[in-house]
Amino acid sequence: NELEDLPSLFLARIRLLCTRVQALRNNGETARALAVAREIEGVLELLLPGTAEYDESIMHGTFACALAYAAVGDMQTAHDFSARSVPHARRLLGKVSGALNTISTHGVITSRFESTAALDQLLNVDVQAGGVFRGPEEFQMHRVHICRARVHMLLRDEIAEENLRNTETAKVSQDLTDVYAKSFALGYLPQAAASSLLLGALNTVHDLEIALNWFSKSIVCAGRARQQETLLSAQSNFAQLERQKHGVTDRGTALAVSALDLMLASLSSESSPDTSLRMNLLRPAMAQMVCYLANASDGRAEQTYHTFPSLMPFFTDRSLKILREDRPSHCSVDCLKIRNFDIYAY
């Protein structure tokens, strides 16, 4: 009897650890989330196929590992784990909560490398998931994931024909606005934060004032939902656009400081922060915040620059007030270089 209970005990253990990974990741404690993910990996090695709990255990465990590795910047390992979760999640669609989100998240991770392939995966999920049980929160996040791949196609100029690009821009804006309105009204704050972040990124090309409005909504929703990664992205994006539109302001400086503090906190447990994978993700945004604070005559700019020597190639000189046009923003798969901005839309 005790041996028969083991699969259920393993599943309960994995779900508990997965919840810890989510909580730590949302709180910006990425190194601790990775430590828990490695504990999950150990439990996964003990699982034997053939039990009713096997698919669910593998799905939840590999999904959590993918999130943890993505948060620290190891995108290839994150992609490998999310790919492992997909076959199990497909078998559980309509039976277990979280199956749709697992498959959908694999599409999001794929979009960091290739937008078209990611969109194909996400739309395929939508067709296959038709008529099966989907919680409303999970479904709205799946819509966000589809829109994210579409936004990245637009911002990476993967749609060359102007009329098609304009039509797609209007459609994805309408879809994201609908997701935001429904999610905010129903209290689904992570979905509202993510959709408004994407709307801000999309409008960065067309109207800075509208983009600032959407980034401000994302800041509010992400802060209330304790979604630290989204909050960091929205604050960094807002500060960049604020300086371009209005110059150095008190609110822009406050958000630049807050974004920088979140970045530094997420790097605090790294043994070599400046050369870590996490820093690879954050470096373009950190350089932007250092530049903003240098223009605000804030001493934290110089202090951060000395702490992280890898920021040097981003600046034209030691004043830290001007970023190089050929700065290596491409080193971060999360960064979209739009004109003189380094925009984060994850």
Per residue in 92-143, pLDDT (tens digit) is 887 888 888 898 889 888 887 787 887 888 887 755 555 555 678 888 998 9
Exposure class string for 304-318: b at 16+ Cβ within 10 A, else e: bbeebebbeebbeee
| Residues β-bridged to residue 335 | 344
- When the pLDDT of each residue in the chain is averaged and rounded to a whole number, the result is 90
The answer to whether 137 and 188 are in contact (CB under 8 A) is: yes
Highest mean pLDDT among 19-23, 170-174, 342-346: 170-174
Distances (CA, A) of 22 to 16, 65, 305: 10, 10, 31
The answer to whether 280 and 227 are in contact (CB under 8 A) is: no
**CA 171, chain centre distance (Å):** 22
Q: How confident is the model at residue 27, as a pLDDT?
A: 84
Residue of 2 and 328 predicted with greater confidence = 328
Q: How confident is the model at residue 252, as a pLDDT?
A: 97
CA distance 316 to 67: 35
User: Residue 135 has which token pair?
Assistant: 């919680």
Q: How confident is the model at residue 218, as a pLDDT?
A: 98
Of all residues in the chain, the percent with pLDDT exceeding 70 is 95
Residue of 194 and 335 predicted with greater confidence = 194
- Among the listed residues 23, 117, 131, 37, the one whose alpha carbon sits nearest the alpha carbon of residue 85: 37
Where do we find the tokens 């959709």? 195
Distances (CA, A) of 78 to 83, 86, 329: 9, 13, 21
Least confident range of 69-73, 90-94, 342-346: 90-94
Q: How confident is the model at residue 332, as a pLDDT?
A: 67
| CB neighbour class for 220 (10 Å; exposed up to 12, middle 13-18, buried from 19) | middle
Q: How confident is the model at residue 113, as a pLDDT?
A: 78
CB atoms within 10 A of CB 110: 22
Q: How confident is the model at residue 51, as a pLDDT?
A: 77
Residue 1 has pLDDT above 50, yes or no: no
Task: Write phi, then psi, for 302 (nearest 5 degrees).
Answer: -65, -40
All residues at 6 or more sequence positions from 328 whose CB lies less than 8 Å from its CB, including other chains: 284, 313, 314
Task: Write phi, then psi, for 337 (nearest 5 degrees).
Answer: -85, 110
Q: How confident is the model at residue 130, as a pLDDT?
A: 56
| Residues β-bridged to residue 338 | 341
